[in-house]
Amino acid sequence: MNAAVAIVHGVPGRTCWLPIVAMALALALLAPERAGAQVIRGVVTERGSEAPLAGALVSLIDARDATASGATIRQAVTNERGEYAIGTPGPGRYRVSARRIGVRAAVSDVITVDASETYRYDITLDPFSSLPLVTVVDRSLCTTGRNQGARVASLWQEARTALNVIVVSSDDSVTQRRLIRYQRVLAPFTFEIRSEAAHSYDAQDGIGESLFRSLSGDSLSLAGYWTDDREAMRFYAPDANALLSTAFVRDHCFGVAEGRGERQGLIGLTFQPVRGRPVAEIRGTLWLDGTSYELRFVEFEWLQLPLELQHDGIGGEVHFTRLPSGRWIVKRWSMKMPRPRIGEIRSVGAAARERLYSDGIGEEGGMVVVQGSVPFDKPATVTGRIVRANGKPLAGARVRLVGTTYRTIADAGGRFGFDSVPPGLYAVVAEHADFDIFGLRAAEHEFVLEEGAQRRLDFQTLGEKDIADSLCPGRDFRLATLRVTLLDENTLRPMRGTALRLRSLKVVQVVRGDLLGQEARDVDIDVTTNESGVAMFCSVAPAQTLTLGFPVDSTGLFPLHTFKLGPQENGIATVKTSPP
């Protein structure tokens, strides 16, 4: 799937979600080291500190262009040592430019590259303490406020630098990365998670090869950011390439917003569609750090939605981060969308809107977890409560996040919690002595935890039927089950690997000569106890006396206990005896 789109199929009573393809994680760095190729390489440093600048965007420019900027041929991103290397198309005259967020851009003099030559060019960039205003403003750049042209152009230049670095950043094979994708249904007004499905991928799943892209800027300009063809609604999000496109700049007007509240300390570059756009559009803000001018995240909302689908929670966010290597990636994204049924989108009024959102809001998104770095700014918390199938708290349950050191004991009310948890895909499991004897977990739940989230997890343990289904897959539900725990009466330790036989009488019809009669026959079920001393007898004939004992040869039985079970009844027993 190549488009950044979530599709909502309008089938009555059922909504099918296709995966969102979110903003681009990274594109492969141009590989300059080709046999016989000309290469320009060097180091980018900061003037004064002489420190190498990781994550600087270095561009190869065709010097035949009369302007100083020229036409960009190729781009690369400096590594953690400030090093770069760009292969040229061949011998010729070139310039090299370098820019990084928070420092002034620099353009080299003309560099003449001969055949089979490696040219060394080091670059020093000057830092700045405040955002320098662009003096030459592109008059085609639409602005929403008076006298904002220079400031908008300066912010857009910093944002473009970050977006370009994302586009040309390599899929770093040294840094281990994991991609997590999820789909959720949220409560329409509280946004509590009603249901969730998640998947995790790593390099072996091809995430380094299968990149995620949106439609091109030109396609979004023509088709719009959401469509409704009566069979399905499709919602689109722009990726870095789309935001950088000429079409996106042409279709939108830009302004400046000061961050307040949760966005205090940020400065925003707002965008909204130009007047008269005939297709469905988006508006939003690119938020940059107010001091370093690094691009933090983009938020947007879809416009021109039908009145009955308009909702404050509808929209998307994409957050960015810079890795220690200097490369930038999309670290997490989310899109919240309506889930209309076919035909109902044509309805109008408050009643129709309430009916449309009665099934909740759809959310799709993902995150990238990077090993060996701190990929989050705010830790998350996980709290919850675990109860038995009958609603009573499972006090003393051992609760842990699988594969981590996070573990705790549920209190008398079944409550538990974890603090300072990094984002990622987790499985929380609860274990208890009452379930250990079956070799089962009391409960388990997989969930996605976002940066800074406060996640609440409330869930129930397995019930008797669930346990029977787990231990007796494919059982006849019309019959009974019997679970026996066998203990040594002297030590009270489980009797592992001990053969048990459960005998019942089955009455069958027989023909003797010309007479039809009945005869009782033994029906035996043989089971060996597991490591916990548990034996599970499945599909037991009900409503008759059952005898449990040790098997003696192929037909004999040394009795231990008798039972009586009704149809669909789940029997539980602990038998203490001496070893056979």
- Residue 481: pLDDT band by 50, 70, 90 thresholds? confident
Which pLDDT does position 134 carry in this prediction? 60
Q: Assess whether pLDDT exceeds 70 at residue 204.
A: no
- Determine contact, residues 24/328, Cβ cutoff 8 Å: no
Q: What is the pLDDT of residues 116-131, one digit of tens each?
A: 678 888 999 887 666 6
Q: What is the pLDDT of residues 415-455, one digit of tens each?
A: 999 998 888 888 899 999 888 767 778 888 889 888 888 99
Specify the pairing of strand 315-322 against strand 123-125. unpaired
**Does 536 have pLDDT greater than 90?**
no
Average pLDDT over residues 496-514: 82
pLDDT at 428: 92
Residue 13 has pLDDT above 50, yes or no: no
The structural architecture, per CATH, of the domain 465-577 is Sandwich (2.60)
Chain-centre distance for alpha carbon 560: 54
| Residue 4 confidence (pLDDT) | 44
**How confident is residue 383, by pLDDT bands cut at 50, 70 and 90?**
very high
d(CA 159, CA 155): 6
Q: What is the mean pLDDT of the chain?
A: 79
pLDDT at 512: 73
Q: What's the CA gap between 419 and 465, in Å, rounded?
A: 34
pLDDT band for position 563 (50/70/90)? confident
Work out the average pLDDT over 222-238. Answer: 83
| pLDDT over threshold 60, residue 14 | no
Candidate from 72-86, 355-369, 418-432, 485-499 with smallest mean pLDDT: 355-369
- The reply to whether 39-168 and 380-462 are identical in fold is yes
SS3 labels along 434-464: HHHCCCCCCEEEEEEECCCCEEEEEEECCCH
The band of 548, judged by pLDDT with boundaries at 50, 70 and 90, is very high
Instruction: Find all residues with CB under 8 Å of 486, minimum gap 6, and list them.
Output: 494, 495, 498, 500, 529, 533, 534, 535, 575, 577
Domain range annotation of the chain: 5-12+174-260+273-370, 39-168, 380-462, 465-577
Give pLDDT, residue 9: 36
Mean pLDDT, residues 235-246: 90
- How confident is residue 264, by pLDDT bands cut at 50, 70 and 90? very high
Residue 483 identity: R
**Whole-model pTM over 0.75:** no
Class level of CATH domain 39-168: mainly beta
Cβ(568)–Cβ(481) below 8 Å: no
Structure token pair of residue 7: 């599709």
The reported pLDDT for the residue numbered 408 is 95
7-23 average pLDDT score: 34
- Binning pLDDT at 50, 70 and 90, where does residue 10 land? very low
Least confident of 399-413, 479-493, 499-513: 499-513
The CA-atom distances, in angstroms, between 381 and each of 42, 100, 420, 497 are 45, 35, 6, 43
In this structure, are residues 257 and 266 in contact, taking their beta carbons and an 8 Å threshold? Answer: no
Residue 370 has pLDDT above 70, yes or no: yes
What pLDDT was estimated at residue 145? 75
Whether residue 372 has pLDDT greater than 60: no
Cα of 316 vs its chain's centroid, Å? 14
Strands (E), 388-498: 398-401, 407-409, 415-421, 424-431, 443-449, 454-460, 480-488
pLDDT of the residue at 354: 52
Report yes or no: 193 and 184 within 8 Å, Cβ to Cβ.
yes
Q: Tens digits of per-residue pLDDT, 487-499? A: 999 999 999 999 9
Check if CATH label 2.60.40.1120 holds for domain 380-462. Answer: yes
Answer yes or no: are the C-beta atoms of 101 and 295 closer than 8 Å: yes
The predicted-structure confidence for 300-332, as pLDDT tens digits, reads as follows 999 988 877 777 788 999 888 887 777 788 888
Contacts of 368 (CB under 8 A, 6+ apart): 25, 177, 178, 179, 180, 329, 330, 331, 332, 375
- Structure confidence at residue 351 (pLDDT): 52
Percentage with pLDDT > 90 across the chain: 23
Contacts of 376 (CB under 8 A, 6+ apart): 331, 422, 423, 451, 452
Phi, psi of 503 (to 5 degrees): -115, 135
pLDDT at residue 347, rounded to an integer: 47
Average pLDDT over residues 168-196: 76
8 confidence band (pLDDT: 50, 70, 90):
very low
Higher pLDDT, 475 or 492: 492
Single-letter amino acid code for the residue at 160: R
CA distances from 471 to 83, 151, 368, 435, 560 (A): 59, 67, 37, 12, 23
Average pLDDT over residues 237-264: 91
Judge whether residue 248 has pLDDT over 90. Answer: yes
pLDDT of 24 reads 34
Q: How far is CA 354 from the centre of its chain?
A: 29
If DSSP codes are grouped into helix, strand and coil, which group holds residue 416? strand
Q: Evaluate if residue 396 carries a pLDDT over 70.
A: yes
Identify the CA nearest to 471 among candidates 527, 521, 409, 520. 527
Mean pLDDT on 472-488: 83
